[in-house]
Structure 1
Amino acid sequence: MHPNSAFRPRQDDLAELLVREIGFAAIFANTPDGPRVAHAPVVLSADAITLQFHIARGNALTRHLGGASALAVVQGPDAYVSASWYSEADQVPTWNYVAIEMEGTVRKLDDDALVAQLDTLSAQHEARVGANPPWTRGKMNPALFSKMTGAIVGFEMRITAWRPTIKLSQNKPADERERVIEGVEATGHGALAQLMRHLGGDREGA
């Protein structure tokens, strides 16, 4: 989490919205072999209290996650910000980015809960891609599906802390922010430029 309060979203649901929209996280935890990370699609519960995910059974983190304290990080678009884009003197380059940290305790899911998680994931993302008809596990041989799910393990993290950083030049005057938006967009980072236009007006603490 960035220490500058200007980069905290004022909208209570913004961090949740970004987690649902991005839908992919890095899961960090300590193990007897040192810190480890896994990368996984995630499902945030409707009340934003739990985060579900699954990882390969052979992943170095899998056997250590049950009952562990973990950190999940969802990252959005990011881009370098050149100091040359500012009209003010004595500025330095920086980096604009979106990162949502969630901390909590993890529990292992049983087979039924894992399948329910997979059904939810596929339904959400099939709707996004507009597949018609959408893919469902009903299209698979049940024995093959069971074999494939046996190669992964489902988990649920109960979120005890949210630490979002939405760093979109909110600490800069409006005219300088617009110059940064134009620069970011010109260097091929259109998604970040769009976020700056739609979300960067949150200037709390600027």
Structure 2
Amino acid sequence: MRQNPSFTLASEDGVRRLIRENPWATLVSETTNGLVASHYPVILDEDAEGIVLLSHVGRPDEQLLELGRHPLLVVIQGAHGYISPGWYDAKPAVPTWNFVVAHLHGTPEILSDADNLAVLDRLVDHFEDRMPEPRRMRGTVENAAYAERIVAGTVGFRMHVERFVAKDKMSQNRPAATVERIITELEGDGPYASAELAREMRRVHPDVP
């Protein structure tokens, strides 16, 4: 991904926030059979130093990806959307696309069955915690027995991110008045309204009314 100084997201904390808020990831591996991509949720190992991802893939995706044998590219896509030149001013302009994304690079470590089961527990808890009546993977004897059976169909991994490239393109190159109009349109009810993108822009531009 080509980097642009105006839109660089260089902060590890910023990338962690992006992962927490957008856990659905694209995993890309350059295998002996060419490029292979899969899609799985990821979470952070919050106890580790640096950026460390935890996840799993279903069998036989680990064979297709040749997981653990090559570096992996993990793509995290956050809020994004079309920005019309009609939201700028009367001067000639072209449309653009605002977005936040991170490309994370590392070689995954394959987990043992026991560690894989622990990661599956953490994944389920991570998403169930916000439910009114969370379902735990091993919350009952019946659930625990089921979890023990299905773990054989998955392969868990931990990936320490060795390097990342991230961009947070939120109209930082536009005047404050233009940014305010863009946010107003995104918060409206037009065809390209996006409350999620508007929130991300307000985070980048905290002084906009």
| Shorter-normalised TM range | 0.7 to 0.9
CA distance in 2, matches of 1:121, 1:84: 43
In structure 2, distance between residues paired with 1:201 and 1:72: 29
Q: Which residue of 1 aligns with 2:78?
A: 76
Q: In 2, Cα distance between the equivalents of 1:72 and 1:125? A: 20
Letter in 2 for 1:197: R
Structure 2 counterpart of 1:132: 133
The residue type equivalent to 1:4 in the other structure is N
Query: Distance between the aligned counterparts of 2:179 and 2:40, measured in 1?
Result: 33
Q: Distance in 2 between matches of 1:63 and 1:19?
A: 21
1:181 aligns with 2:186: no
User: Would the aligned equivalents of 2:50 and 2:160 in 1 still touch at CA under 8 Å?
Assistant: no
Q: Structure 1 vs Structure 2: percent identity of aligned residues?
A: 34
Could you tell which deviates more after superposition, 134-143 or 101-110? 134-143
Aligned to 1:43: 43
Separation in 2, partners of 1:180, 1:37 = 34
Whole-angstrom CA distance in 1 between matches of 2:57 and 2:154: 5
Higher relative contact order, chain-length normalized (CA < 8 Å, sep 6+): 1
CA contact (8 A) 1:16 1:48 kept: no
- Residue in 1 aligned with 2:102? 100
Tell me if structure 2 keeps the 8 A contact 1:67–1:107.
no
Is the Cα contact below 8 Å between 1:29 and 1:61 reproduced in 2?
no
- The 4+ residue runs of structure 1 with deviation greater than 6 A are none
Aligned partner (choices 164, 167, 173) of residue 165 of structure 1: 167
User: What is residue 3 of structure 2 aligned with on the other side?
Assistant: 3
Q: Counterpart in 1 of 2:202?
A: 197
Q: Residues 145, 134 of structure 1: CA spacing in aligned structure 2 closer, same or farther, 3 A cutoff? A: closer
Amino acid at match of 1:9: L
CA distance in 1, matches of 2:135, 2:12: 32
User: Please, which runs of 5 or more residues in structure 1 have no aligned partner?
Assistant: none
2:16–2:51 Cα contact (<8 Å) kept:
no
Residues 28-49 of structure 1: per-residue CA shift (max 9 Å, x gap): 1111221011111112122333
Question: Would the alpha carbon gap of residues 10 and 159 (structure 1) be closer, same or farther in structure 2, given more than 3 Å must change?
Answer: closer
Q: How does 1:12-51 map to 2 (within 5 A)?
A: 12-46=12-46, 47-51=49-53
CA contact (8 A) 1:65 1:108 kept: yes
Distance 1:199 1:134, change over 3 A: farther
Once the two structures are TM-superposed, the CA of residue 10 in structure 1 deviates from its matched residue by 6.2
1:150 aligns to what SS in structure 2?
helix
C-alpha displacement of 1:144: 2.5
What stretches of structure 2 of length at least 5 have no aligned partner? none
Give me the TM-score of the superposition, normalised by structure 1.
0.88
